[in-house]
Amino acid sequence: MNQSSFDATTPLAAELQDLTRRRKALQDSKAPLPATARVIAVANQKGGVGKTTTAVNIASALAHLGATVLVIDLDPQGNASTALGIDHHGDIASIYDVVVGTTDLADTIVPSPDHPNLLCSPSTLDLAGSEIELVTMPAREHRLSRALERYLGSDQGARVNYVIIDCPPSLGLLTVNAFVAAKEVMIPIQCEYYALEGVSQLVRNIQLVTSHLNPDLRLSTIVLTMFDSRTNLAHQVVADVREHFPSETLTAVIPRSVRVSEAPSYGQTVISYDKSSPGAVAYQEAAVEIAHRGATN
Ligand code: ATP
Ligand code: MG
């Protein structure tokens, strides 16, 4: 760029300078590994708020920081499997087989081409029927949790530092299975109208699971997604969410970014697709925060 014509006072220039500063800060950042695997369910019954995008990009960012991360795709849509570049046609061993009890979790896990430390247990469309199949099964709420415990206790599973479970947009038995298997819930909230609508119902559901099924579960993290800095509404949503959840809401806010939305069509996370784009930088910052928060909790 021609320095003489560069006006450093414009909003765009300020944004670029800010991004450069944050990229540099990320280069120097380290993330502590947890002593035992952290199991995090990414949930919000509202559709399209950025659950899958957040699950795969935080997982990839953690893997790039040196952690071994397993993504469990618990949504029949299979979007997390697609985003991680993993084939999930009907014939493969998938998380469905684990939930119905015919296959060990270990036998469904495949590495993602995105990063050698990034693993995935993919979903297939069969999973759509499992909400109904599960109803009559014994220990129907504990099926994922038991499979995951067995895996994490094995030699193969012992190297996993994070398990990130991408939940479907509902509060059905699959999400309950994720809540029973997890210790933490991460809620992505989209910076738009009615952002907080449904969140209190979700929080009540987490409390129900805590009191009846899994006393270890807590809402640990809220991630603000698809932030558009040009709108007053987005700023208002950020302020509202921070007011309601001051300690859970991450400082990093994920901007709306074309790079984030186009990465899955290349079977890549945005961290691999364009590491220095604003969305990738924000997801890496979020991952560093999550790693540090877990270390102090
Ligand atoms: P579902 O409820 O269907 O599982 P979801 O909550 O998992 O949806 P995503 O699939 O992650 O939501 O995101 C919904 C859409 O928004 C996708 O098309 C995704 O590419 C897009 N999207 C998510 N985050 C961003 C972002 N930061 N910038 C631009 N587009 C985004
Ligand atoms: Mg999704």
pLDDT (tens digit, 9 = 90+) per residue, 218-253? 999 999 999 999 999 999 999 999 999 999 999 999
pLDDT at 296: 47
| CA gap 265, 85 in Å, rounded | 9
Atom nearest to 47 CA in ligand 1: 2
pLDDT (tens digit, 9 = 90+) per residue, 161-199? 999 999 999 999 999 999 999 999 999 999 998 888 889
Task: List, in order of start, the domains of the chain with CATH numbers.
Answer: 33-296 (3.40.50.300)
Question: What residues of the chain score a pLDDT lower than 70?
Answer: 1-8, 295-297
Please choose from 57, 225, 261 the residue to mutate so as to test ligand 1's pocket, defined by most ligand atoms within 8 A of CB: 261
Query: Which residue bears the tokens 């969410």?
Result: 241
Look at ligand 1, atom 23, and give the residue with the nearest C-alpha.
50
pLDDT at 129: 93
Q: Strand 118-121 vs strand 110-111: parallel, antiparallel, or unpaired?
A: antiparallel
pLDDT at 194: 87
Residue 10 C-alpha to ligand 2 middle, in angstroms? 37
pLDDT at 14: 87
pLDDT at 297: 46
pLDDT at 8: 65
Residue type, 190: Q
Closest of 23, 72, 32, 27 to residue 52, by C-alpha: 72
Long-range contacts of 145-151 (CB under 8 A, 24+ apart): 145/177, 145/180, 145/181, 145/214, 147/98, 147/99, 147/104, 147/105, 148/39, 148/72, 148/105, 148/181, 150/104, 150/105, 151/104, 151/105, 151/106
| CA gap 186, 54 in Å, rounded | 9
Burial of 212 (0-12, 13-18, 19+ CB in 10 A): exposed
pLDDT at 161: 98
Model-level pTM?
0.95
Beta strands in 102-190 (DSSP E): 110-111, 118-121, 162-166, 184-190
| CA gap 276, 51 in Å, rounded | 22
